[in-house]
């Protein structure tokens, strides 16, 4: 019998080594390809921004700045679309076609659906729900938002929670078609009715910021007394979760019962003694009244163009805030902008620490404003009043007169430092609750501090600083967030048809054929050996 002791094992034979190795290589290659496809599909669903952007502009998804804010939300939020996904994608444009035209062939609506889903991908605390009118839960939501006169296709951002009294409360904001889509204009500036862009990201992210504020403080904006128009700034406060209501003046209109703040910007007509009394009662309550609410605040903006306002100025002096006539003039050109009245301010870190609610804003931020009325604190502490100088100029400023003489020279004036944001706080001990209650007057030296430049220039931190102070007076967390405004064109979102077809052909035909050819070549080469 032949001795099998020295028989070569099958796995060491050349035939197996070469043919088997080629087979294993092909099998491993195919398994890897399948795994990559599965992983790619999973990641594209799970993570926003994973899809390959094949357009020239890669900003087709939620911006990094807004994304960082979205990630921090730790409260359960629902984004509710008042129609089915299929309706939104295929029929929504028909319902608005009498007014608007979609030149993109439905791509803006696909973009909206995809971007809404991205919110959940970024943060699982945010859920996105499309409602089917034939399902029972549609009526539940319709009843829940019955005060809002919803239309098909509206988007509702909803935060439902239990209040301090244990009862369920809902903060929500309705985003309509006009809020989402940018409408084009012709050369004359008239609306063409053609959808030309999407404001979805700005609208939804702003709504998120709005609804998670459980403490909804209403601001009564006084529009009378020849005051300045600050409607654009008030809209930024609405984005930050504040409601507001306009009233003409304190003589004609009553202060809304649910208002916790009153705002008055650069009046040119003085308040009457009766009006001042109403302000006092709003901030400090009527005589013997110990039931006024935490966080009552008067927000006042001055201007260098104001004349004497004896009643209002006397009211502010009682709170430790004094004004001079004229304009703050910076004699050091390195501390001003385009003109010597366009003054730079620094954070007063000592008073910021005393307050405790502006710590996240520091001296490295950039603050500027023009047309500042000279403002100073008259005392640090008096009776129950405490004053704080939050932003201040350098000590190289002077007062330029209201009416500048021809021979006026800044070098002839005494230099000093002036306030830009002053806060006066009246403290009342609440013996029943073993706590203190605060009434506040926030005074800003110029309406330019919140003007169009401050609202648009990125390096200018004016808006953040003032919002931090207002939040602190309202008893809110003082961390601020500026929603990044973006108008997105659908061409920045979807690849072209040629690009899309190229990817499909490559994945369906080119790659499999290439694998098959590679396998055959390897097999033949190994076979011949």
Compute CA distances 257 → 224, 282, 508, whole Å: 19, 10, 66
- Higher pLDDT pick, 273 / 486: 273
pLDDT for 49: 41
pLDDT for 12: 52
Contact by Cβ (8 Å): 204, 155: yes
121 pLDDT more than 80? yes
Compute CA distances 370 → 18, 111, 168, 466, whole Å: 83, 42, 46, 16
Kindly report the CATH class assigned to 216-473. alpha beta
Alpha carbon distance 499, 509 (integer Å) = 15
In percent, the amount of the chain with pLDDT more than 90 equals: 40
- Number of residues that this document lists for the chain: 529
Q: Which residues pair with 195 in a beta bridge?
A: 183
Residues contacting residue 424 through CB under 8 Å, at least 6 positions apart: 319, 320, 321, 385, 386, 387, 388, 440, 441, 443
CATH number of 64-208: 3.40.30.10
pLDDT for 348: 87
Query: What is the tens place of the pLDDT at every residue in 291-339?
Result: 555 569 999 999 999 988 999 999 999 999 999 999 999 999 999 988 9
Compute CA distances 157 → 77, 161, 201, 508, 509, whole Å: 7, 13, 12, 40, 43
Quote the mean pLDDT of the chain: 81
Query: What is the tens place of the pLDDT at every residue in 46-102?
Result: 444 444 333 333 334 788 888 988 999 999 999 999 999 999 999 888 888 778 888
Query: What is the tens place of the pLDDT at every residue in 346-387?
Result: 888 788 778 876 545 555 677 899 999 999 999 999 999 999
In percent, the amount of the chain with pLDDT more than 70 equals: 73
Structure tokens, 19: 């043919």
Structure tokens, 68: 């960082």
pLDDT for 58: 36
Alpha-carbon Rg for the chain in angstroms: 32
Alpha carbon distance 390, 352 (integer Å) = 6
218 pLDDT more than 50? yes
What mean pLDDT comes out for the span 188-206? Answer: 84
Can you spell out the DSSP letters for 313-334?
A: HHHHHHTTEEE-SSEEEES-GG
Side-chain-side CA neighbours of residue 482 (13 Å): 18
Give the N- to C-terminal CA distance of the chain in Å, as an integer.
33
What mean pLDDT comes out for the span 476-489? Answer: 65
Contact by Cβ (8 Å): 104, 151: no
Given the DSSP bridges, would you call strands 77-81 and 155-162 parallel, antiparallel or unpaired? Answer: antiparallel
Structure tokens, 41: 């599909």
In the chain, residues under CATH classification 3.40.50.880 are 216-473
In terms of pTM, does the model score above 0.95?
A: no
In the chain, residues under CATH classification 3.40.30.10 are 64-208
Alpha carbon distance 246, 226 (integer Å) = 14
């Amino acid at each position: 019998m032949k001795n099998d002791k020295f028989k070569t094992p099958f796995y060491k034979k050349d035939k197996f080594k070469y043919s088997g190795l080629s087979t294993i290589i092909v099998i491993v290659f195919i398994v890897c390809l399948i795994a990559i496809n599965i992983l790619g599909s999973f990641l594209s669903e799970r993570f926003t921004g994973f899809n390959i952007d094949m357009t020239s502009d890669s900003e087709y998804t939620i911006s990094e700045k807004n994304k960082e804010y979205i990630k921090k939300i730790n409260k359960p939020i629902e984004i509710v679309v008042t129609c089915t996904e299929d309706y939104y994608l295929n029929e929504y444009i028909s319902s608005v076609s009498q007014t608007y035209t979609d030149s993109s062939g439905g791509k803006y609506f696909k973009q909206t659906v995809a971007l809404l889903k991205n919110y959940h991908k970024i943060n699982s605390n945010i859920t996105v729900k499309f409602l089917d009118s034939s399902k029972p839960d549609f009526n539940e939501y319709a009843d829940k938002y019955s005060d809002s006169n919803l239309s098909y296709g509206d988007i509702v951002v909803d935060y439902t929670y239990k209040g301090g009294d244990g009862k369920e409360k809902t903060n929500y904001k309705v985003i309509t078609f006009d809020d989402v889509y940018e409408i084009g204009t012709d050369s004359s500036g008239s609306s063409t009715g053609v959808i030309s862009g999407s404001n979805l990201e700005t609208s939804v992210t702003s709504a998120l910021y709005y609804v998670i504020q459980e403490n909804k403080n209403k601001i009564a904006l006084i529009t009378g007394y020849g005051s300045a128009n600050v409607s654009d700034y008030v809209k930024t406060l609405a984005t930050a979760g504040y409601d507001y209501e306009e009233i003409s003046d304190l003589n004609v209109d009553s202060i809304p019962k649910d208002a916790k703040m009153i705002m008055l910007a650069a009046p040119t007509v003085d308040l009457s003694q009766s009006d001042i009394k109403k302000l006092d009662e709003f901030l400090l309550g009527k005589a013997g009244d110990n039931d006024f609410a935490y966080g009552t605040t008067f927000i006042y903006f001055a201007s260098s163009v104001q004349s004497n306002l004896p009643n209002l100025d006397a009211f502010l002096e009682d709170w430790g805030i004094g004004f001079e006539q004229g304009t703050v003039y910076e004699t050091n050109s390195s501390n001003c902008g385009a003109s010597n009245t366009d003054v730079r301010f620094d954070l007063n870190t000592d008073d910021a620490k005393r307050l405790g609610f502006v710590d996240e804003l520091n001296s490295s931020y950039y603050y500027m404003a023009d047309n500042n009325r000279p403002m100073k604190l008259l005392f640090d502490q008096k009776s129950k009043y405490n004053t704080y100088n939050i932003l201040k100029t350098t000590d190289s400023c002077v007062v330029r007169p209201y009416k500048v003489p021809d021979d006026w020279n800044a070098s002839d004036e005494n230099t000093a430092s002036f306030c830009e944001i002053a806060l006066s706080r009246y403290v009342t001990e609440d013996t029943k609750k073993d706590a203190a209650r605060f009434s506040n007057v926030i005074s800003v030296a110029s309406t330019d501090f919140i003007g169009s430049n401050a609202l648009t220039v990125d390096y200018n931190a004016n808006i953040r600083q003032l919002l931090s102070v207002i939040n602190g007076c309202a008893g809110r967390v003082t961390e601020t967030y500026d929603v990044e405004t973006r108008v997105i064109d659908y061409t920045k979102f979807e690849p072209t048809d040629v690009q899309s077809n190229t990817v499909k052909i490559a994945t369906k035909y080119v790659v499999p054929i290439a694998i098959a050819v590679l396998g055959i070549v390897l097999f033949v080469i190994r076979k011949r050996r």
